[in-house]
Structure 1
Amino acid sequence: MRVFLAVKLYRLELEVFRPKWWPEPASGAVVFEKEKVVVADDAARAAGVRSGMRRGGVLTLAPGAELYERDMTKEASAQREVATALMRFSPEVGMTRDATIVLDVSASLRLFGGILRLCRQVRGVLGDLGLSARMSAAPTGQGAWLLAQQGRRRFLKMRSLERALSALPFVIVPELQPFADWFIGLGCETIADVRRLPRAGLQRRCGASVLESLDRAFGIAPEIFDWLVPPPTFAARLELPDRVEHAEGILFAARRLVAQLCGWLVARQLSLSAATFFLEHERGRTAIPPTMLDIALGEPTWREDHLIRLLKERLGRLELAASVIALRLEATDVAPAAPASETLFPEPGGSAQDHARLLELLVARLGNENVLRAAPVADYRPEVANRWIPVHENIKAASMPNVLPRPTWLLEKPVRLLMRQHRPFYGSPLRIVSPGERIEAGWFDGELVTRDYFVAQAEDRSCYWIYRERVSSRDPEKEPSWFLHGLFG
């Protein structure tokens, strides 16, 4: 048995201008089409504004309300954005009329824990997009679409779907609407009344499309869908309802773009390695170049919560040059998604992916220049044999021989040791426990060092890395000095 989920965007005319996450104006907002009210928000309806009312009446009841003209292009674009974001739940997503998206979730129910949990997750995505919707589920796509127009609930068995559809008014079927007067004259009120009419006469009077639509809804005829194909690259832009000067408002708007990105990644079976946010400012004479936020990931991911967390940290450290009027998001580096680990027992201390996410979060919070890693340099002198680079910077490090032990903790400046009974002293006499490592380098850059390094052990068994300066043959009376340069763990 197949299962289809229909998502009806029922306030799309208004929410393309003012999403739910944007504060509503005190006097309300109203959308017009041909000088008549199509939809009004709660504040405008509380003032007495109703559907079909003309502009003059609206200005009388709510003089401070924000007025918009319906934009079919924006609505179609928003419907496509929703369809792209919902592709994380199923690769088979189609856009249908009346701002409705249909998903074939037959293979997704078990993955997402059943229809109820799936619907909750879909509502969460719609909340990030700032849109309102009604959802219905049914064994047929046409049946789910009809149920969503009435805000009905979920019916997963064909017998239950037939009872629910039969009780619906026939006028919700688009193919029956041109013949509404004729059906009313025959005494028809519901879909069941229409289906009781002779099929041959119904086909001659209304055409084959009426019967085909009803048969698809009741599972008698096969359904053909035009599933959405995700583009090869991802780039999305969002105009803000008003100028934004704080990071919190930008983050709410950015969720809409990230939700689309994650749906696109899942549909293409890709994971994200790098993305760029563009914060667009004023245009025209006072034009300011957009502010760019580069999001670099140490471990590719397609998880929305992780991307939002990184973006939140980056925005928290950002100083805006001017107010933001639009956002744009581009996926600059993607790779094929790796399958989930099949390890029976989790790694102690977290997996490699967990460590990578921690580093990404630290970079976003502290800045790329403050999270560094060691990069060995081909030089025998310990103080110059390493440099610190950003943790995500890809530079091939020099390999050093591991013949003799070297500590990882070097002192910034070597400490000169005392001599007692001809032995170096640091809290207690030090005993040499390793062969010597002679270093003579630096003649090429004017920083010549001539040292003999040893591992020394104190009476408490702690180990130190010490060296003895070699005395030049030109100065035979000078006694060699000992220095502490490193500590072993």
Structure 2
Amino acid sequence: MRLWIGLHLPRLPLEVFSPSWSADAGTAVLEQEVVLAASALARQAGVTPGMRRGGALMMAPQVQLHERAPEQEAQALHAVAMAMLQFTPQVAEGEEATLLLDVGASLRLFGGIRRLCALVRASLATLGFTGVLAVAPTARGAWLLARGGGGRSLTIERMVRRLHGLPATLLPPARPYQAWLEGIGCLSVGDVANLPRPGLQRRCGRELLDMLDAAHGQAAEMFCWIEAPATFGAKLELFDRVENTDLLLAGARRLLQQLTGWLNVRQLAVERVTLLLEHERGRVARPPTAVEIVLAEAVWHDEHLVRLLKERLAKLVLDAPVIGLVLEAPQVKPMAPLSDSLFPEPGGSQEDRQRLFELLAARLGADNVLQAAPQADYRPEHANAWLPVQEKLPPARVVAQLPPGGLPRPAWLLPKPIALLVRDHRPFYGSPLRMVSSAERIEAGWWSDTQTRDYFIAQGEDNAYYWVYRERLPGADEETEQRWYLHGLFG
């Protein structure tokens, strides 16, 4: 089933200068000294499209006036197109700030056209823009419906009925002939389509007929699809000096939407992202502040990255106001295929656990969330090594095996052995300790930290079990008082 989404951004010039997540005291955009678009506050103050600069300043001196910047508008439209790539790899740019999305192959993946349209609107809102959505079986039909106010028409017949009710001036080739069409009573697209084709072609040219045929599905449509670059980098200029990290997170979400689209269309997953907070330039220039997120498990959606950035930015102390954001993805890898297991793991997938660890590390600090990294060493202090959960474990090595019949190891190993008192030739820890196992001798570390110890399992009067050792000193005889240490606790 071929289905298209037309996405028209009617307020793009205004929103380029007045994003929805920033404070707006009233903004208007000028084109050739005439108001092209005005915000809600500016309209309340009396500024309307079509008003000249002098009239706008007279009505509302406090309203901010900006000259239209086609380059910034093109950058904003490109940012929206990059975000839309997460829904379909076939995105084309249409006339008059409109994007066309071929979503026929994406319906099943996203749960149908209603759900897909809701996701497109949510992504657009995250980017800080407003748009008009239309759905139609043809690209030109979706474009016309989007320019005419939006709506969904899933069949050719219903689409044709809706198209024929739209104003004829929505057809760009018909606008130069508006006076002639009004003179003969052709006010709608349907009126123009019902005119004799030979006469309409002689009067208005072939381009108008081609557009009508494409809209009705009677002619092939050719598109130049938007291509994602080989590497990702997105920049956002802030409209004021920002010192609130909440506003920075809102801006970062806009950049993450573009990253999500880029990852999906390139079939990649990101392992490391860097958010650069740009500060003042010129004489007081200072290097940008880098916020780096390292992921133990590569992802290609933005929800987890948003949570991690929120935790990192909440703890960040800004040394200077921020005027711009730059998001980079320096480390990516091919997207992993979906799991082919019939029954999912009851306790959650490996990716779910890794995301939980990353969130804890962002909130508590990387040094407080550790993972076991056992080493091939008989010495307990060296065999039980721990690394931050975000670090990659070294290549697997053979871990020192316990000897046959060896003693069990305790659940809790103390960071540093505790010297014990000796009373009546017995170690003492709250109460006299009684040895309940034979000795296990460990002699290792002659190359760095020599250890010669006899380990025992000891029991106290409270029936708790301890892992203790007796240090064997070189040259000591049986009459020498021996030193005892507590090294571990059994559960």
- Measured against the shorter chain, the TM-score band is over 0.9
Distance, in Å, in 1 between the alignment partners of 2:447 and 2:98 is 73
Contact 1:280 / 1:289 at 8 angstroms: preserved in 2? yes
Alignment of 1:220-369 (within 5 A): 220-369=218-367
SS of the equivalent of 2:104 reads coil
> Whole-Å Cα distance in 2 between the matches of residues 301 and 395 of structure 1?
19
Deviation (angstroms), 1:426: 7.2
Structure 1 position 413 matched with structure 2 position 411: no
Change (3 A) 1:59 1:125: same
TM-score with structure 1 length normalisation?
0.93
Contact 1:466–1:482 (CA<8 Å) still a contact in 2? yes
> Alpha-carbon deviations, 1:368-415, whole Å to 9, x = none?
233333434554332344444322223527643122443341123335
Look up the SS of the partner of 2:152 in the other structure: coil
CA shift in 2, pair 1:443/1:248, >3 Å: same
Alpha-carbon RMSD across the aligned residues, in angstroms, is 2.3
Is 1:16 the counterpart of 2:12? The answer is no
Q: Distance in 1 between matches of 2:489 and 2:31?
A: 78
The amino acid across from 2:489 in the alignment is L
Residue 137 (structure 2) pairs with residue 126 (structure 1)? no
- SS in structure 2 at match of 1:50: coil
Are the aligned partners of 2:453 and 2:471 in contact in 1 as well (CA < 8 Å)?
yes
CA distance in 2, matches of 1:386, 1:152: 63
The amino acid across from 1:406 in the alignment is R
For 2:7, the equivalent position in structure 1 comes to 7
1:486 aligns with 2:484: no
For residue 461 of structure 1, report the CA deviation from its aligned partner.
7.3
The one-character-per-residue Cα deviations of 1:399-450 (angstroms, maximum 9, x if unpaired) are: 43122443341123335266679798875764534x54322345555x5432
For residues 19-72 of structure 1, what are the alpha-carbon distances to aligned partners after superposition, in whole Å with 9 as ceiling and x for unaligned? 1111211xx111000000000001111111111111111111110111100011
CA distance in 2, matches of 1:473, 1:47: 96
Segments of 5+ residues of structure 1 without an aligned counterpart are: none
> How far off its partner does 1:313 sit?
0.5
Kept after mapping to 1: 8 A contact 2:5/2:101: yes
Structure 1 residue 211: deviation in Å? 0.9
- Which residue in the other structure is 1:432 paired with? 436
Q: Counterpart of 1:79 in 2: which secondary structure?
A: helix
Extract structure 1 runs of 4+ deviating beyond 6 A.
419-426, 458-461
Partner of 2:451: 449
TM-score by length of 2: 0.93
Counterpart for residue 401 of structure 2: 402
Unmatched 5+ stretches in structure 2: none
Q: Using the alignment, how far apart are the partners of 2:89 and 2:473 within structure 1?
A: 75
Contact 1:424–1:430 (Cα < 8 Å) also in 2: no
Counterpart amino acid of residue 336 in structure 1: P
> Secondary structure of 1:289's partner?
coil
Partner of 2:112: 114
Equivalent residue, structure 1, for 2:30: 32
Q: What amino acid sits opposite 1:416 in the alignment?
A: L
Of 31, 54, 57 in structure 2, the residue corresponding to residue 56 of structure 1 is: 54
SS state at 1:108 partner: helix
- How many Å separate the matches in 1 of 2:399 and 2:107? 54
Is 1:194 equivalent to 2:197 in the alignment?
Answer: no
Worse-matched range after superposition: 263-272 or 471-480: 471-480
| 1:447-471 CA distance string (max 9 Å, x none) | 5432112345678876432222335
Q: Report the Cα offset of residue 250 of structure 1.
A: 0.5
Choose which of 173, 177, 186 in structure 1 pairs with 2:175: 177
Kindly tell me the number of residue pairs found equivalent between the two proteins.
485
Separation in structure 1 between the aligned mates of residue 95 and residue 467 of structure 2, nearest angstrom: 76
Does 2:150 align with 1:152?
yes
Q: Which amino acid aligns with 1:262?
A: T
Cα offset for 1:165?
Answer: 0.5
Residues 264-303 of structure 1, C-alpha deviations (whole Å, 9 max, x = no match): 1111111110011110000000001100011100110112
Aligned-residue offset at 1:10: 0.9
